[in-house]
Amino acid sequence: MTNHYCDLKNADVILIMGSNAAEHHPIAFKWILRAKEKGATIIHVDPRYTRTSARCDFHVPLRSGTDIAFLGGMIHYILENKKFFKDYVLNYTNASFIVDNGFNFKDGLFSGYDPKKRKYDKATWVFDKDGKGIPQRDMSLTHPRSVFQLLKKHYSRYTLDKVSSITGVSKENLLKVYEIYASTGVPDKAGTECYALGWTHHTTGSQNIRTMSIIQLLLGNMGIAGGGINALRGEPNVQGSTDHCILYGNLPGYLKMLSASLDTLDKYLHKYTPESKDPQSANYYSNYPKFFVSFLKSLWEDKATKENAFGYSWLPKMDDGKHYSTMHMFDAMYAGKVKGYFCVGADTAVSTPNSNKVRKAMENLDWLVGENIFDNETHSFWKGPGVDPKKIKTECFLLPAAATMEKEGSQSNSGRWVQWKYKAAEAPGDALPVGEIEIKIMAAVKKLYEKEGGPNAEAIVNLKWDYLDSKGHFDVIKVAKRINGVFLEDTVIEDKAKGTKTEFKKGQLVPGFGNLQADGKTACGNWCISGSYTADGINKMASRGKEDPTGLGLFPNWSFAWPVNRRILYNRASCDVNGRPYNPKRKLLEWTGDKWAGDVPDGPWPPQADRAKGKYPFIMQRDGLGALFGPGMAEGPFPEHYEPLEGPLEKNLLSSQRMNPAAEIFKSDMDQVANASEKFPYVCTTYSCTEHWCTGALTRWQAWLLEMQPELYVEIGEKLAREKGIKNGERIKVSSIRGEAPCIAMVTKRFKPFTVDGKEVHQVGMPFNYGWLFPKDSGSDSTNMLTPTVGDANTFCPEYKAFMVNVEKL
Amino acid sequence: MNKQPELVKLIDTTLCTACRGCQVACKQWNELPGLKTKQLGTYQNPPDLQWNTWTLIRFQEYEDKAGNFQWIFRKDGCMHCTDAACVKVCPSGSLYYTPLKTVGIHRDKCIGCKECVSACPFHIPKYDAKTDKVYKCDLCYSRIKESHAPACVKSCPTGALTIGDKDAMIKKAYARVKELGSDANVYGDKFVDGTHVIYVLQFKPEVYEELPVNPKVPLSVIVWKDLLKPLSLLAAGGVLGGAFLHYMIHGPKYPDLPKDENTEGGK
Amino acid sequence: MQKGYVQVTDSYERILHWMLAISCLLLCVTGLGMMFQTFNFIGYLFGGLKSLKLVHNFTGLVFAASLILVIRMWWKEAGVFVFPEDLEWIKVAGGYLWHVDKVPETGKYNPGQKLFFLTVVGAGILMIITGLIMWFPTALPAGLVRWMYPLHALGFVAIFAFFFIHLYLGTIGNPGTVPAMLTGWMDRAVLKKQHPGWLKEMEHEGKLVVYGEEKKSGAHGHHA
């Protein structure tokens, strides 16, 4: 979230799209209802009418996988009808930048596409620069190659008729949403967007979010109270796990994972440290080396020296151009290239797309180690349906883990609040916190390497993991302090701007990431979280002050929000170039002449009207401004609508490029695809339900929850059910080209057929919370038997939300 | 609780997201088991209130005549009537009015006669054959008497469930209904002398499944408890008194026969 | 036993009578314990209200069985009115309420007794049906089940009232009649006064069993 949960109450319009907030964020949903009680309009755009729809002002159904078309239409509407917030767009976005002459977009493809590699060369996705290397701007926004004009041109194709025909949303509904949402493009109105897996689970997932970012920038909704783009992340700690690099491409704090061609620290730092010649751009990532070196020091401390490039060579590196997502991992496992598998707190035999392939892949393993609080379909794959245990060679282990309430530590919510929690109960039996299991395994591995040596032994032998307490147990406080960062030597930090010098002692905790050093004097496990443990030993994550000085629900003394306790990101954009709040009624921040008052500002610099010292508000962007033109994305700087891997249409109605040109296609014999096939004529989407959590591997054992949602079901509209002769509550079969999922039919008014390209298209939906292991006699198995191995081109988040199936009576 | 107020729980159905936290919290606090169920083609599960389910979110797919669709959620459970048919019929004093004016249940006193099951106009009390007892919500009497909110209210994330002093809650309910406008209405304060659970309903009561439009203590209960009970005492008393008077006034009917006849028969 | 006494009931009749009477009494007492909370104390006699309920329910079964047998046994004698004799008797209320020189002769059972019998039969059946539904109420709609309670109570009112009338008339109200249901032998003089018609008929048919005399075969049968 750029903002945070309590801030939702400040919005005038809330667009919930790509999220079923009421069902999956039931606690947070109260802030949405609070906004509604104050008169805000709540809109739900979703293929299915859900419990969220029931509480919104209105629900607009759209066909799964057409969000960019829907939102592209909104961009078109905003630009056509001049609903954008001009002052904001001009000053705070790159609308005025001039794009390279070689840049173009033709029939669904941007310049630089290589169809063989399914990849873009981004050489033309750049801005023209002046002699000083500063991007050229046209403040009249009329230059034909200005971002603004290119944006306008790109989305002029997204007409009401076209969008309606693609999405299946009526023109009336499109206009209704566009009008209401665009009404927030004025200084005193705030519109926000809540999304979740409904946007990310697509081959165009990242671009779904990008499209909304463009809208928010156009309407001046970024950096303001009641605005922003808000990813509603899963409980209890999905935000925390991403912050601490659960994704293969990241190191802690979203630092980049290394790749083979970056064989020296210098090369690596050069690549990932952005450079800006514009004196008004803070370009905060210019500090990248400080964060990265401090991270290396946190791993190896004294053993990481200037001489050995702080142990850079010890870190594993990815092959260039290769990816290591869960889907790639199972693809490699299926090809017999992966021999051992640690499955920690996951149930991949249920959660990963194309479960048949995943389960088959696991048969190639020599060993499998599970760490979990329950057995699940992954650990027990060797005795699953259709598997002959005698033929499985894999040796399987299950290490009992402590549940979340059986251990102390931090949990981060979507609003980046890192909240401390305490142990409520002892873990049963031999169960240990996962952290302790890892440390103990690592200690044993370390001993083996010390004794026997091995490839890259230094990385392991030198690892500084002194996180055990005097009794030999995992000490979370020690870890928390290491994450915060510590001075490894006596250090004097000079602030030239303020003319101050501050001394820090060896062993002292760093006050924040601003104090981190690139020369090895500091160690910091995760620069984002730095400042969560103060130098005088106060755990700010555990603070529980309820003061709300701004009245906007920032609650600055409740826990610690990264970065540096900032509650709303890019908050300087809530003020005009002179630092005066755009909306005095929701005063998030104000320049008082010498400092900012309100939320923790995005940097201490004066507002940007001060040409000498002032800085632009989007300090994490190289150019300091909101990116309407976003060259960082794999499939283009402007989001474009592409059909899902499997859809009901043979052609994309907008171009001849049917699906995301940059999305990787998996090619194993088990990765079959059936687009626009008569055999699989219905769009299917999958989701969770309030009563279960993810694969249900934790919740299916809970009798109270199971009582409410006992077995797998498919939600089918009444019309389709009538056509197929399917009765409510009847056991039926849902199948895709990859597999089958027997389940109970839930015939409902909440799914209505769409009219797409003039034809009737039915959509069905299924929860993904079930598996064969428990409850035993339900006959349910994973919905992911049906889903394809394909994902977003940037993140490889699988496309669980749109694929094709058939439904049949048994 | 120094002064024991008359409590009312307000269920604002327009704020309910049917997360069913209340349904689970109720089972947790009251130590009720989760039982095996089947997916019957609806989110509503168990299908009805049952002995282990004292509160249930009812899911209803409602389409009005104009074709407007609304998924209706209603938290069903004991209404805690002021004039409670169940208390009226309970033979053992198991069902009773608490000092907070809610309807409590002394389960140890319940004899499983099931009279309340049929008497309740809201179909709330549920019988369990295994324990031969009747179960229903007691508004977490164990909690409210210690000034804690009932488990359901405590668990509600959106503020759809609140509890407080009767007058304040009724006022709040009417204020909310005014704010909502159109068909919104307050349900519960106008019958059975007022219930201690009241609803803010978005639609007219007749729209809701399993919700009586005009609930009252059944006539049968009135006939029985208010008429036949005294009548039976009267009848018993009358017969005893009548017999006594008959004996006194008319006297017993002796066989007035001469002795010879008597001996004659003995031949 | 005095010589000259006449046998009016056999042991089968008496056992059934008392089964019915005792179960009825027990039902009344246990029913009262559940009907009025002020009578809840009766539960203590049975080890608690819950066991009282069980006693009531199972006694109900005994009562039901007895009633069916009783109906089979006495229907002909007590279930059917015989005209015009019974009408005559009713006209003078059997001489119970005012002085009557000569009470019209009736059969073994006078219309008063018949009325009592029919009430017991009618109310008893009502009690059995309503009672059974109350015992297993979940099988039927609550709206219907609800009415079983007042009907059960109504039956109770009737039975309870008649029970006392019967008790009074069978004991101190009609001295000399008690032995009919204790020993089965009655003073012929009492019979002559109260059931002259039956006495004559039995004498006529030669079925009368008199104490001290040789028992004649084919004494009046209960097995109709």
CA neighbours within 13 Å on the CB side: how many for A500? Answer: 3
**Residue of chain A with shortest Cα separation from B62:** A749
Q: How many CA atoms lie less than 13 Å away from A147 in the CB half-sphere?
A: 27
Chains near C (3 or more Cβ pairs under 8 Å): B
Is there a contact between C181 and C170 (Cβ–Cβ < 8 Å)?
A: yes
Radius of gyration of chain B (CA): 26
Q: Do chains C and B touch, with touching meaning 3 or more CB–CB pairs less than 8 Å apart?
A: yes
DSSP state of A643: B
Query: Least CA distance to B131: which residue of chain C?
Result: C50
Query: Do C102 and C91 form a contact (C-beta atoms < 8 A)?
Result: no
**Min distance B88 CA to chain A CA atoms (Å):** 33
Question: Residue B33: which of A52, A55, A703 has the nearest Cβ?
Answer: A703
DSSP notation for A410-436 = EEE-TT-EEEEE---SPPPTT-B-HHH
From CA B151, how far away is CA B266, in angstroms rounded?
84
B212-232 mean pLDDT = 87
Q: How many domains does chain C have?
A: 1
The whole-number pLDDT of residue B261 equals 40
**A689 Cα to chain B: minimum distance (Å):** 9
Partner B contacted by C101 (CB < 8 A):
no
Binding partners of B (≥3 Cβ pairs within 8 A): A, C
Chain A residues close to B23, C-beta within 8 Å:
704, 708
The C-alpha atoms of residue C78 and residue B109 are separated, in whole angstroms, by: 44
- The pLDDT of residue B154 is 97
Q: What is the structure's pLDDT at A743?
A: 97
Instruction: Give the CA distances from residue A680 to residues A718, A738, A789, A805, A808, in Å, rounded to whole numbers and listed in that order.
Output: 19, 11, 17, 4, 11
Helix A265-272, helix A288-300: angle, nearest 10:
140
Name the closest residue on chain B to residue C53, using Cα atoms: B111
Residues of B with CB below 8 A from A745's CB?
41
C-beta neighbour count of A655 within 10 angstroms:
17
CB contact under 8 A, C173 and B257: no
Cβ-based contacts of B243 with chain C (< 8 Å): 164-165, 167-168, 173
- CA dist A68 and A212 (Å) reads 9
Q: Name A500's bridge partners.
A: A495
| B176 interfacial to chain A (CB closer than 8 Å) | no
Say if the Cβ atoms of C4 and B267 lie within 8 Å: yes
CB contact under 8 A, B253 and C194: yes
Query: What kind of architecture, by CATH, is found in domain A5-235?
Result: 3-Layer(aba) Sandwich (3.40)
Closest residue in chain C to residue B225, using alpha carbons only: C150
Task: For tokens 């999905």, name the residue.
Answer: A238
Cα separation, A359 vs A771, whole angstroms:
12
Output B196 or C79, whichever has higher pLDDT. B196
Helices (H) and strands (E) in chain C, counts: 9, 2
Contact in structure between A413 and A8 (CB atoms under 8 Å): no
A22 CB neighbours in chain B (<8 A) are 17-19
Smallest Cβ distance to B111: which of C49, C162, C174?
A: C49
Q: Which two tokens stand for residue A462?
A: 């030198």
Q: CA A221, CA A210: separation in Å to the nearest integer?
A: 14
- C-alpha to C-alpha distance for A513 and A485, rounded to whole angstroms: 8
Residues B45, A29: C-beta atoms closer than 8 Å: no
User: Among A656, A572, A643, which residue's Cα sits nearest to residue A606?
Assistant: A572
Contact of C93 with chain B, judged by CB distance below 8 Å, is answered with no
A42, β-bridge pairs: A14
Determine contact, residues B62/B203, Cβ cutoff 8 Å. yes
Q: Give the per-residue pLDDT at C110.
A: 76
Inter-chain touch A744–B39, beta carbons under 8 Å: yes
Token pair of A397 as six digits: 């282990």
Per the CB < 8 Å rule, is A744 touching B41?
Answer: yes
Where b means 16+ CB within 10 Å and e means fewer, B140-176 reads: bbebbbeeebbbbbbbbbbebbbbbebeebbebbeeb
Q: Give the model's pLDDT for residue A442.
A: 94
* pLDDT computed for residue C109 by the predictor: 75
Q: Does C142 touch chain B (CB under 8 A)?
A: yes
In this prediction, residue C106 carries a pLDDT of: 66
Residue of A30, A690, A708 for testing the chain B interface, max B β-carbons within 10 Å:
A708
A486, A506 Cβ separation under 8 angstroms: no
Q: Can you read off the two tokens belonging to residue A2?
A: 């750029």
| Nearest CB partner across the interface for B239, out of C40, C53, C161 | C161
Chain C interface disruption, residue of B108, B225, B226, B228, most C CBs within 10 A: B228
Specify whether the CB–CB gap between A713 and A743 falls below 8 A: yes
Query: Where in chain A do CATH 3.40.228.10 domains reside?
Result: 5-235
Cβ C168–B256 below 8 Å, yes or no? Answer: no
Q: Show the tokens assigned to B180.
A: 């909502």
Strands (E), A61-118: 105-106, 109-110, 113-114
**CB-based contact C138 B114, cutoff 8 Å:** yes
Indicate the residue of A53, A690, A713 with minimum beta-carbon distance to B39.
A713
Residue C41 DSSP one-character state? T
Q: Chain C: residue nearest B124 by CA? A: C142
Residue C163 domain boundaries = 6-205
CB contact under 8 A, A26 and B157: yes
- What pLDDT is attached to residue C103? 65
In A, which residues are within 8 Å of B18 by CB distance? 22, 51, 54, 690
Can you tell me whether residue B21 is helix, strand or coil? Answer: helix
The residues that bridge with A231 in the sheet, in sequence order, are A195
10 Å CB burial of residue A237 (0-12, 13-18, 19+) is: buried
Average pLDDT of B159-184? Answer: 96
Distance CA A744, CA A715 (A): 9
pLDDT tens for residues C134-173?
998 877 888 888 899 889 988 888 888 877 777 777 777 6
**Average of pLDDT values for B128-143?**
96
| pLDDT tens, residue by residue, A554-606 | 999 999 999 999 999 999 999 999 999 999 999 999 999 999 999 999 999 99
The CATH number of the domain holding residue C191 is: 1.20.950.20
Question: What percentage of chain B carries pLDDT values higher than 70?
Answer: 92
Q: Which fold has domain A682-809?
A: Barwin-like endoglucanases (2.40.40)
**pLDDT at residue number B263:** 37
Nearest to C156 among B115, B220, B232 (CB): B232
Q: CA of B262: which chain C residue's CA is closest?
A: C189
Give the pairing of strands A109-110 and A105-106.
Answer: antiparallel
A358: three-class secondary structure by DSSP? helix
N- to C-terminal Cα separation, chain B: 88
Record: contact C172-B252, CB cut-off 8 A: yes
Tell me, yes or no, whether C212 lies in a domain: no
Return the pLDDT at A335: 97
Average pLDDT, chain B: 90
Query: In this structure, which amino acid lies at residue A410?
Result: S
Higher pLDDT, C1 or C171: C171
DSSP classification of residue B227: I
Q: Does B18 touch chain A (CB under 8 A)?
A: yes
Q: Check if the beta carbon of residue A605 is closer than 8 Å to that of residue A615.
A: yes
Q: How far apart are CA A219 and CA A83, in angstroms?
A: 7
Rounded-to-integer distance, Cα A684 and Cα A716, Å: 10
pLDDT at A378: 97
- Closest CA in chain B for residue C103: B253
Select the residue of A26, A33, A746 nearest B19 (Cβ to Cβ). A26
Q: Give Cα separations from A177 to A52, A64, A82 (angstroms).
A: 16, 17, 16
User: Is the N-terminal amide bond of B46 cis, ω within 30° of 0?
Assistant: yes
Average pLDDT over residues B169-191: 96
Hey, of A704, A712, A727, A746, which one would you mutate to test binding to chain B, going by the most B CBs within 10 A of its CB? Answer: A704
Asked whether residue C134 is domain-assigned, the answer is yes
Confidence at C91, pLDDT banded by 50, 70, 90: confident
* Surface of C (34-53) touching B: CB under 8 A: 34-37, 40, 43, 49-50, 52-53
pLDDT bucket at C221, cuts 50 / 70 / 90? very low
- Token pair of A102 as six digits: 């070689």
Indicate the residue type of C107. G
Q: Read off the pLDDT band of B266 (50, 70, 90).
A: very low
Q: Give the nearest partner residue to B71 out of A26, A54, A746, using CB atoms.
A: A54
Does position B259 have pLDDT exceeding 60, yes or no?
no
Amino acid at position A397, single letter: F
pLDDT value at C97 more than 80: no
Q: Do chains A and C touch (3 or more CB pairs under 8 A)?
A: no
Q: Which of B24, B38, B41 has its CB closest to that of A745? A: B41
Contact at CB, C34 and B267, closer than 8 angstroms: no
Q: Is residue C222 part of a domain?
A: no
pTM: 0.92
* C192 in contact with chain B, both atoms CB, cutoff 8 A: yes
C1 pLDDT above the threshold of 60 = no
Low-confidence residues in chain A, pLDDT < 70 = none
- pLDDT by residue (tens digit) across B65-106? 999 999 999 999 999 999 999 999 999 999 999 999 999 999
Q: Do B253 and C154 touch (CB under 8 A)?
A: no
Coil, strand or helix: which one is A263? coil
Residue of B nearest to C168 (CA): B243
* Gap from B234 CA to chain C (nearest CA, Å): 9
- Measure A57 CA to nearest chain B CA, in Å: 11
